[in-house]
Amino acid sequence: MASLGIALIGTGFMGKCHAMAWSHVRPVFGDIPDIRLETLCDIDPELTLQRSREYGFARAETDWRKLIEDDRIDVVSITAPNNVHREMAVAFLEAGKHVWCEKPMALTLDEAEAMAAAAENARGRTLLGYNYIKNPAVMHAKHLIATGDIGDIVHFRGQVDEDYLASPDVPWSKRARIDLWGLGTLGDITCHLVSFAHFLLGDIASVAADMGTVVKQRPVPGTNEMREVENEDIAHAIVRFKSGISGTLASSRAAWGRKNLIRFEIHGTKGMLVFDQERLNELQLYVSEGPEATRGFRTILTGPSHSPYGQFIPAPGHQLGFNELKVIEAKHLLDCIASGSECFVNFAEGLKIERVIHGMARSARERSWVEVN
């Protein structure tokens, strides 16, 4: 595997993140194959050509289907809208390519199942864009759980909030349409929370949920029309893990003041861990030992001792960010391609996350507990 040819579909926020990750992964980690940025693909010819030059891709393309049989391409990054994930991912897997697809996995559970089935029969590796779990602070939390520093785990409490749809003046868009976007806060951000839960504690088995839409209609740009919001702004659930651990999940895309809050507390018999994505270089640890008068939470600030932080920065306290986590994610995919091992989160694991969020939607509609995995 002397080199790998990369195709990237999408030039938006996540497309740029993938482009930077592919450009930076070799300078950061070194021990990887040569990365060839072959083709950037999007629907706007002028914009795609401009971005291909800025991102360093050899060529620009507007028809993603032309990439399927292109022998120069080994890995495809899919950052296109949710409603085309299934079609693209299945086509590239059937062509023998590796696929890195952004979350949510698909619009519907049926589509996610089709993607997982295609991956099971494919030679290519698959990875879904849950880069937050690649954070050295989160990986250290997993280590502390495994070594028993906080005892036996008894409870998971998770919260994910943003305010990008808090204002009723935000215009109606495809985000409000089930046929183009799918689930609302569940598909946008709750899936990240579930990825934390599964990575740290194993699969969620059952859920009892509620959900609702805060802003029920939004203005259509350029008109006097108000159009209905078809998916949910808030969702909450009581959950039970396969291991028997209890938990709660709470999410909102209409929470004023929250920009990227993904917070979890993990309660054990000897202590607890707390993490907040808005302070992504810190982990809080409480251990119930020593004199009560001097007990308290300890702030663990990530540094070179928390791999792979040191690959980026040789000194603690200088901080990693969102884009660095994407670089770590790219390295994980490359390692799995080289070894033939499965990525986390691959399409099979991603399907479990989809079952949880779609199970929450079903539970809220049916007002009942739902088995999800």
Residue that terminates a domain, selected from 106, 131, 156: 131
Same domain, 192 and 291: yes
Same domain, 267 and 341: yes
Residue 2's pLDDT is what?
Answer: 84
Residue 184's pLDDT is what?
Answer: 97
Candidates 242, 282, 257, 247; CA nearest to 158 is 247
Same domain, 212 and 356: yes
Q: How far apart are CA 235 and CA 6, in angstroms?
A: 37
Concatenating the DSSP letter of every residue in 7-40 gives EEE--SHHHHHHHHHHHHHHHHH--SPEEEEEEE
Residue 94's pLDDT is what?
Answer: 98
Q: Would you call 273 helix, strand, or coil by DSSP?
A: strand
Question: Using a CB cutoff of 8 Å and minimum separation of 24, what contacts does 341-344 make?
Answer: 342/125, 343/125, 343/126, 343/127, 344/133, 344/199
Residue 31's pLDDT is what?
Answer: 87
User: Between β-strands 246-252 and 261-268, what pairing exists: parallel, antiparallel or unpaired?
Assistant: unpaired
Same domain, 20 and 153: no
Q: How far apart are CA 241 and CA 234, in angstroms?
A: 22
DSSP 8-state class, residue 220: P
Q: Where would I find the H helices in 175-317?
A: 185, 191-201, 309-312
Same domain, 186 and 318: yes
Same domain, 163 and 18: no
Same domain, 168 and 288: yes
Structure tokens at 166: 């808090």
Q: What is the pLDDT along the chain (373 residues), one digit of tens a residue?
A: 689 999 999 999 999 999 999 999 999 999 899 999 999 999 999 999 999 999 999 999 999 999 999 999 999 999 999 999 999 999 999 999 999 999 999 999 999 999 999 999 999 999 999 999 999 999 999 999 999 999 999 999 999 999 999 999 999 999 999 998 999 999 999 999 999 999 999 999 999 999 999 999 999 999 999 999 999 999 999 999 999 999 999 999 999 999 999 999 999 999 999 999 999 999 999 999 999 999 999 999 999 999 999 999 999 999 999 999 999 999 999 999 999 999 999 999 999 999 999 999 999 999 999 999 9
CATH code where residue 321 lies: 3.30.360.10
Range of the domain at 27: 3-131
Q: Classify residue 319 as left (phi > 0), alpha (psi -120 to 50) or beta.
A: left
Same domain, 348 and 366: yes
CATH code where residue 77 lies: 3.40.50.720
Residue that terminates a domain, selected from 76, 97, 131: 131
- Say how many C-beta atoms besides its own lie within 10 A of residue 217's C-beta: 14
Same domain, 169 and 296: yes
Q: Classify residue 228 as left (phi > 0), alpha (psi -120 to 50) or beta.
A: beta
Same domain, 122 and 254: no
Residue that terminates a domain, selected from 96, 131, 166: 131
Sole residue written with tokens 């250290």: 140
Same domain, 8 and 157: no
Same domain, 73 and 159: no
Total number of domains constituting the chain: 2
